Amino acid sequence: MAFSTPKSYFRAGFRDGAPFILVAIPFGTLFGVLATEAGLSLIETMTFTFTVFAGAAQFTALQLLQEETPTVIVLASALAVNLRVAMYSASLTPYLGAAPLWQRAVAAYFTVDQSYACSMIRFEQEPQMTVPQRMAYFFGTVTPIAPMWYMATLAGAALGTQIPESWALDFALPIAFIAMAAPMLRTPAHMIAAFVSIVVVLLAGAVPYNLGLIIAGIAGMMAGAHAEVVFERRKEAT
């Protein structure tokens, strides 16, 4: 369904991003709880979540800090987990690169898995969208998610260990990534990259400091890129 004005695209983005509230609330609450258990104060926890705004990197850094991992490894691991955002940025540039600098700066901060996945699907479905329409849609997708993430983190940090383990808030992380990744496995190259990543991360489970995740990510990207080149050459040959 095509819309006309930036405002209508913002509303469409809001509707597409709204379901992820069901993930942001338990995910943010869990981070707040774990940060409290790790010894961070309420102010430290909220400063962490406001400045980083990257759930996977925050959980990675927090877990490694709890294991008394060397600071260099903590920083490198968090950066490696967040390197996917750099790829998101490169992928979004053809669609949002002509926007004003301040808009791109704000969009860079709010480029997360949910906003990227929703936006790329919409941009590819409607290539005729203008830059203002695309930017409006992008901000629409993250508008319902970001406030819920902040408030849920605050609630988790304030309640701390009072939240019972039986609530199993950690279910939110795998569900979020499944919901975002599944619709994007549209080509053989995507599926090969996902398959290689899964295999490698299972084989590298014993690597210390969760570095197996980084190894799997690199292996998956290399496999996907190689597969895409092979498929393109075959297509040109035919």
DSSP, residue by residue, 15-41: HHHGGGHHHHHHHHHHHHHHHHHTT--
* Exposure string for 8-17, b = 16+ CB within 10 A, e = fewer: ebbbbbbebb
Report residue 205: phi and psi, to 5°: -60, -25
Number of residues in the chain: 238
| pLDDT higher than 90, residue 22 | no
**% of the chain beyond a pLDDT of 70:** 87
Q: Is 53 helix (H, G, I), strand (E, B) or coil?
A: coil
Amino acid 56: pLDDT: 75
Q: What burial class does residue 153 get, using C-beta atoms within 10 Å of its C-beta: 0-12 exposed, 13-18 middle, 19+ buried?
A: buried
Give the end-to-end CA distance of the chain in Å, rounded to a whole number.
34
Q: What gap in Å lies between CA 61 and CA 78, rounded to an integer?
A: 6
Token digits of residue 76: 């490198």
Amino acid 139: pLDDT: 97
| pLDDT higher than 90, residue 162 | no
Q: What gap in Å lies between CA 76 and CA 79, rounded to an integer?
A: 5
Report residue 5: phi and psi, to 5°: -105, 155
**% of the chain beyond a pLDDT of 90:** 33
Token digits of residue 69: 């991992």
Does this model's pTM top 0.85? My answer is: no
Q: What is the mean pLDDT of the chain?
A: 83
Question: Which of 160, 183, 149, 150 lies closest to 23, judged by CA?
Answer: 149
Amino acid 184: pLDDT: 59
Question: Which of 33, 37, 83 lies closest to 56, judged by CA?
Answer: 83
**235 vs 10 pLDDT, higher one:** 10
Q: Is 1 helix (H, G, I), strand (E, B) or coil?
A: coil
**116 vs 27 pLDDT, higher one:** 116
Q: What gap in Å lies between CA 71 and CA 80, rounded to an integer?
A: 14
Amino acid 98: pLDDT: 93
| pLDDT higher than 80, residue 178 | no
| pLDDT higher than 60, residue 51 | yes
| pLDDT higher than 80, residue 71 | no
Mean pLDDT in residue range 43-70: 80
Mean pLDDT in residue range 179-184: 59
